[in-house]
Every structure is written in structure tokens, then in C-alpha cells.
Amino acid sequence: MGKAKIAEYKKQKLAIYQDNILIEALPDIKSRIELLEEMTYYPEIDEDEIDLSDEERLLAVNKIYDVFHPFKMHADFAEKVTGMIRDATFPENLPEH
């Protein structure tokens, strides 16, 4: 489970997000390239596995299922979620107490 972290508030470049502490505590908006790079995952290849028996190498090959190569739709989805989170924190969208 993740650990709690002290919020770091960052000045926002977009005027509509400035002075909103909920948005200023969010991570920076990432470019599409940064999103895709961070989502991409390839398992590490252990050179020692080459010397394993056929049966052991066959089991080691199962980590190929851990590969994640994102597509354009993954970046689209991440951008939409980011927008929804930021838009939901406008004062007029917050519930009344």
C-alpha cells in the first residue's frame, strides 16, 4: 500500500487552475509522450536464465505476460481522467456542506 505524502503545492500556469489548493497539490500535467513512457513496462531479462534447463526457461518465459505497451487510447483515457479530476475541483462543482 502507498505511503502518505506531504502535499507539494505548485503554481499553476493556467489561470482557471490558479489559487485552487486541490489542483495545486496534484502532480504536474504530463505530455502525451511522458504518459506513454511512464505507462510502458517491459520485464528485465536475467542473463543467467539462458543457462537454465528447458523446463525452468519455459517458466521464466511467463514473465512476457507482464509486458505493457500502451496505445494511443491509453493516453487519451489518462488525459480525460486528468481533465475530469481537475474540472471536478472547481468551487461550483464541489458539494455543499
pLDDT of residue 93: 63
| d(C-alpha 12, C-alpha 21), whole Å | 10
Residues 84-87: contacts with CB within 8 Å, 24+ apart? 85/26, 86/17, 86/23, 86/26
Give residue-wise pLDDT tens across range 87-96. 888 767 666 6
Looking at the predicted structure, is the pLDDT value of residue 37 above 70?
Answer: yes
The DSSP element (H or E) to which 78 belongs, if any, is: helix 72-88
Share of the chain above pLDDT 70, in %: 92
The Cα-based distances of 11 to 18, 25, 31, 81, 89 in angstroms read: 7, 9, 18, 21, 16
C-alpha 14/C-alpha 89 separation (Å) is 14
Give me the residue spans of the domains in the chain. Answer: 30-93
